[in-house]
Each structure stands twice: as structure tokens, then as C-alpha cells.
Structure 1
């Protein structure tokens, strides 16, 4: 998920990379009726440096599980952050009603993530001063890339419900960073699968030429080629370029059947507008867009597209709405809820609130054991000495050894005449090996 500022940052140095090599990716076909929407905000490119981290001596724990919350309550991310915080509070309330963790109630400490790397860094430091054992957040991928070394250096684990950047796949986290939202590497697989279903032998990719755009384009190209298709043409638009028409003409020059457009709400909608302006020359059968372009839902550029161009656009986005059976709402609130349950269950299984010991159990409580779907039912299984497979509110998590979901569901969305977005009711279930 792209969240209020662009991830134009250098790849982290890898003195201590995430756990395990990047897995091969396999798509499991599934079509499920569903409807939901997501809320994303975009902003200009920002550059930050990610430092190599060193970890302080591990905490031994004190018997009380304290969970910090670093999600946005102010700024452009508040619309996303507030519902997630509500879900976190509900998860803790239910955990405490079920007896808490280690026979003690779980305690929450909440801090505003804000809208910058600086504010996220300050938030992390505040939570560490409060003695938290684990942190839910941050929401922004850029905040994670720029500030995650703070909790990692302190030996405290974090679980982000929304930070999906590919650059976080190999972040030097010392085994302390986890995600309940899928990496963009899985979104690349989903995009390639949709392209493959058209029967086309090749695709062209039209992308914003920044760290995010290049990384996702590379991942899509790898996924496309793994399906015996090929990438006919890659055309990158420099950041800040005002004249996109020449790049659009280059993309369309060899009359591709499928064009994949990768960008944020602003750049993505401008690239779509440029394709629309050139549609008299050639219009692809299908134009695929990534999830960040969905934030252009109210853009006049989407409204102004020729009808036959708009109707050919399909977007691929992580399924982010909670099930209707839950009494909370908001995009990715289910993923925040699942972060809390994973942390609490890992602490139970470890028999400790020490951050390092919790981290060693985060993946194991999510895969390969007795399936359970609530904290109380999972806690009962731990008491019986059983291995867990927590299937969360957001779906099956199956965290890999590097802390990312092996499985994720992606919905297909389209744009209406008024520029609004709508799910077309189809969901792809994507898995990594």
C-alpha cells in the first residue's frame, strides 16, 4: 500500500538482512465475490537514508505485555489511522476479557505517527521510553524505511498493518519486523496473473521512474516472465516530468494488448490521461494499474478519460476491508487487529513478554498447527500444548520466516464515469512458496 508519501529511498544496507532468501512465487487461483474500498494518499518524492542497525542487549521482560501503537492520528493519514487504532483497542479489550497474557492484562501506549519520517522517529523513541515490548505500526512504508532502525536497535519488535514496500522485504531488521499486509512483491504476482488471463504473450509497462516504480516494475517483469510471457517494452517517466505525451506514444508505438501503469495517484492518473490522449492511435485491450492509482478516484483526469479507455482499466489492490461480521470498519483495520493477536499469542507461546522471545514465535503461531481464529480459542490450544495456526480477521497469514504473509487476497477494481472506484467482485488469492 502506498501511504501519503513516496518511497523514493535507497535500498537499505544489508549487514543483517531479513530472514531467508526471497521465495519463489506461486499463484493459487481463487475467485470470490467481495466488495470493499481503500483509502490512500500520495505526496511528493522524499529521500531518506536507512542506516545499518545494531541491537542492544535483549530485554528479559517483566511479566506485563505492553504494546505500543504508532499509527497516524493527525495529518493526511488520520482517516486511515483512526479506524486501525480502534481495531487495536478492540483486540486488546478482547484479549484482556479472555484473561490477558501471562495472567496479566495487556497494556496499550498510543503515539501519533504523524506524516513524516521525523515524526515517526520521535514516536518510536517515545514508545521505547515507555518501555513497550512490541509496536503496532508504522502505517507508512517510508516511515518504516527511515525510522525502523530505532526499535530494531533497541531490540523491540514491530508489526505493520500497512507498510507494503518492496524495499522492506530485505530490511536489516534482526528478525524484529513483521507485516500483516502483503509485500508489493505479491501484488506484482497478482498483476501478472491478471495479464496472463487475457491470453496475451507480452505486456508493456509504463511506470514512474522512482525507487518504488522501478522496484515494482522489476517484480512485475519477473512474475510475467515466470508465466512464459514477456515484457515487450518498459517506459519510465522521470519524477516531476510535466510532458508525458512522448512517453505515452513510446509505450503505444508497438501496439501492445496489455499495458501496466505503475505510479501514485498523481503520476498514475497523469499517465492514464496521456494514454487517453493518444487513444486515437492505439488503445490496449487492457490497462492494469497498481493499488496507489486508486487514490485518484476523485481526479478530474479519470473523469475526463475517453469512455472506451476508462472501461479498459482494471486495478489490483490488497483486499483491505474487514469482514462484515466484525464490529469495526476501515481499510486495513483487520490487519492492525491481527498484529495485536499475533503479538499476544507469540508472547503466550514464548511464555514471556521479552521482545526477542516474542519475535521468535511470531511466524510459528501463524502457520502449520491447529487452526484457530480468535485469541481466546488460540490461547486454549496453547494451554493444551498444541501448535497454532492463527487465521486472522484479515485472512490466512502464514507468516514466512522473514515475517511477511505467504498468502494474500487482491481485489480487482475499476473506475466509474464520475471517477469513483468500484470493486468488480473478483478476488485473486496469491501465495508465495
Structure 2
């Protein structure tokens, strides 16, 4: 069975969107609690175009696999599930507009797929309208202590990503690093953490901080400033579109040396740019998948069949899959699509104490038998803390090898670095 997916376009202006929203009914109450013949709609708010588009193909494949699995197991509350997608244009404005249309016009009961900039843009609206939101690609440090009621994320924090990059620089013996950073939440967050940890905790020096806005045709002057600042290495924080231009400029000028990167660049488009970036020239750290999990093994086989590719932790496809399985199980647990009830049920189906399940069908069967469950996903155990964040994310060091990002090793965050940063 193919996933039921519809697409909402955002060609209309904001004024038209708000007019439609006013006619769309009460927010956060889309779907129903078991009325026959209806569908339960999940929203997918993602950068289909723009700077986050590099994530889209893998993300939508993971999301649609989840919807198919749910429907093949009988749906939720005896209803079929439908995925409604909206392009947030990889912008804050697009995220606000897309969220409004998905909730108020399309009647989705929950929203997934969101990235850092979009997640923070809709944070207040999600809580005001009581709409559960999964932010599987939201590394932003803003969510470290803010989520947990209606916003959940299944990836590691940019706080940890920035600390890990500083840890890489320290362990490599670098005393000075230059920063080349895009002015967006997803890129700036880990860069700022890196800078603070590298200077205040490790004792290194930032020789220069070059900021830029996405969308330029060339970043020659910015690359010249960063490479000419005298640092032992360069930390690059950028989205994939701007990052591609930056790294081509870096290669054209014959630059050499070590590059560290934010998680946003650990995507296939960057890996295939040039052999000059391979074998540890550029290093990234991302949240790793638990490839030993039965959930991962089942998911990976289906993902390969659909895409011809391997699942990629850098793209976050398994995170997109897990969020919709988790939402379906939470609705089944709550016996309702009411946003407040679903949000309350999410930690109940994700955290320990219940029977461990690795699929929607297993989880539904246990719930129908009156048992508590602990869903272990394709990405990881997905246990969440009081703030809706992963309790124990595992990270991997990634290098480009033969035109692909590859996991070199799983890595533990130095607890002393983290403690020193958080105590400041």
C-alpha cells in the first residue's frame, strides 16, 4: 500500500493564508475520534525548496514509509492516516504560513518534519493551539529547556554538536580556529557553542568570525577573510545551498587545512562536491542511528527498496519515520486525536516501563491488550526527557569517503567539556 500523501502549496500570500485560516475551523481539532470513513491527517512541514531541500528526498521517503506501515496495520482508531505536506521554503515566514495552512485549513492533528528555524517560528503557535509538533531536525539550543509540552525532537542538540566540534579541535591539537557562519538559527547555534567552548573551556583562540546571509551567488570575500585570518582550522556553519558555494570557493582558491562543520552540511550534496574534501579534511558530528535495532533493520530494508539508497543519519530519514510511528501510537494510547491528550501520551509510549516494541503493529497490539509500551525506533530508543529531547543521544564522527559521508566511529561527548560549558 502506498502512503496517502497530499501536498499543500504555499504560492498564496500571507494575507490570503490568514483569510483561509479564519475559515478553517477550530485549531488543533482536525481528524476525529473514530468516525468511520474519515482520515486522520498528519502534517509534514519541511523545506522542500530552499536551503533545507537537501534533506527532502530522504525525509519524505522515511515519512511515507511510516504512513504506509500504520495503514497496513489497520490505521489509527480504525481510520486511515493521510500525510499532508507543505513546503516551508526553508524560511521562517514559510514555516509560519505552512503551519497555519496545515492546521487551520487542512485540519491536521499534528505536525512533523520541521527544521530548527521553522520549529522555533511555530513554537508559540503550537502551544497556543495545542498542536503536537515533532522537530526531528531541530538541533537549536533554544529547545534544550523549552520543549516537552507540545514540541518534541528526536535529534541531538546543537549544544552537544558545538561541544563535539570543539572536542575534535582540541583532540587534534589546534590552538586557533576561524569561523565562517551563516546567519540562520540552524547554523548559528552550534557555531556559537563551538566558539564559547573552544575559547573559554579549551583555551583556544578564534582568529576571526565571518558572518554571511544565505542566497548569494558568491562568497569569495567571506572565504578570503576566513582563510586569511591565520587560524589552524576553519569551522563552517551553513545550510547546504550556501555551504556548497562556500566550499567550491574554498577549493577554487586552492585552500588547504582542516574544516569542521555544523550538522547541516552532513548531507549527500556536500559529500559529492569534491575529492579535496575527503578523508577527514572536513569533519562533522551528527546523532547516530542504532543500526542494531530490529526497528532499524526492518526500516532500512524498506528504505533501500524505495530509494535505492542506504538510510542516512545526516539526512535524518529514520527520525522522520519514527515521529509518525510515535504519533500514531500516542493517538492509540490516548484514544483520541485531541492535541493535549496526544502530547501527554507521547512520553508514555516512548519511555521505559512498558513492553519494548519495534513497530507500529506490535505497539498497537500491546495497547489493545491493555499493556504499556516502550517504542524503540528505527533511529534509536527515542526515550525523551521532561523537555521533549532525547535522553541519551549517541553521536557519530563523519568523514567524506568516496563521495559519501561515512561514520568513522561513534563518539562520546566529553562530560567535562559539557559540564564546564553549562556551568558558565
TM-score by length of 2: 0.68
Q: Go from structure 1 to structure 2 and tell me whether the alpha carbon gap of 1:125 and 1:57 turns closer, same or farther (over 3 Å shift).
A: closer
SS in 2 for 1:357: helix
Are residue 353 (structure 1) and residue 329 (structure 2) matched? no
CA deviations over 1:284-333 (Å, ceiling 9, x no partner): 6x54222334444454xx55x5x9x9754323234479657430256322
CA contact (8 A) 1:205 1:231 kept: no
Residue aligning to 1:121 = 96
Distance of 1:195 and 1:170 partners within structure 2: 27
Which residue in 1 is equivalent to 2:399? 414
The equivalent residue for 1:292 is 264
| Alpha carbons of structure 1 residues 223 and 361: separation in structure 2 relative to 1, 3 Å | farther
> Taking structure 1 as reference, are residues 364 and 221 closer, same or farther at Cα in structure 2, changes over 3 Å only?
farther
Match of 1:23 in 2: none
Match of 1:337 in 2: 321
Gap runs ≥5 in structure 2 = 1-25, 214-218, 420-424
Contact kept? 1:261, 1:271, Cα under 8 Å: no
Q: Which residue of 1 aligns with 2:107?
A: 131
Change (3 A) 1:225 1:111: same
What CA distance in whole angstroms lies between the structure 2 residues aligned with 1:318 and 1:237? 27
SS in 2 for 1:292: helix
Q: Which residue does the alignment assign to 2:382?
A: 397
Confirm or deny that 1:63 pairs with 2:33. Answer: yes
Cα pair 1:248 1:271 within 8 Å, conserved = no
CA contact (8 A) 2:136 2:319 kept: yes
How many pairs are equivalent?
358
Does the CA contact (< 8 Å) of 1:66 and 1:134 recur in 2?
Answer: no
Deviation at 1:393, TM superposition (A): 0.6
Query: Secondary structure of the residue that 2:43 maps to in structure 1?
Result: strand
- Aligned pairs for 1:161-310 within 5 A: 161-169=136-144, 175-198=149-172, 200=173, 202=175, 204-208=177-181, 210=183, 212=185, 213-221=187-195, 229-233=202-206, 235-239=208-212, 242-243=220-221, 244-252=223-231, 256=232, 260-265=235-240, 266=242, 270=246, 286-294=258-266, 295-299=269-273, 302=274
User: 1:205 touches 1:259 (CA, 8 Å); kept in 2?
Assistant: yes
Q: Per-residue deviation at 1:180?
A: 2.1
Please say which of residues 262-271 and 288-297 is displaced more in the overlay. 262-271
* Partner of residue 5, structure 1: none
Q: 1:317 & 1:337 partners in 2: Cα distance?
A: 17
* Deviation readout 1:147-184 (Å, 9 max, x if unpaired): 4444433221111332333344466x682111223332
Q: Look up the match of 2:11.
A: none
Given that residues 58 and 356 in structure 1 are in contact (C-alpha distance below 8 angstroms), is that contact kept between their aligned partners in structure 2?
no
1:197 Cα deviation from its structure 2 partner = 4.2
**2:406 matched to 1:423?**
yes
Shift of 1:423: 1.3
2:126 is the alignment partner of 1:157: no
TM-score w.r.t. the length of structure 1 is 0.67
Q: Partners in 2 of 1:74 and 1:262 — Cα distance?
A: 21
Residue 101 of structure 1 deviates from its aligned partner by 3.0
The two structures, once aligned, show a CA RMSD in angstroms of 4.0
Find out whether 1:379 has 2:351 as its counterpart. no
C-alpha contact 1:221 1:231 (8 A) present in aligned 2 = no
- Unpaired segments of 5 or more residues in structure 1? 1-55
Of the two structures, which has the highest relative contact order with CA contacts closer than 8 Å and spacing of 6 or more?
Answer: 1
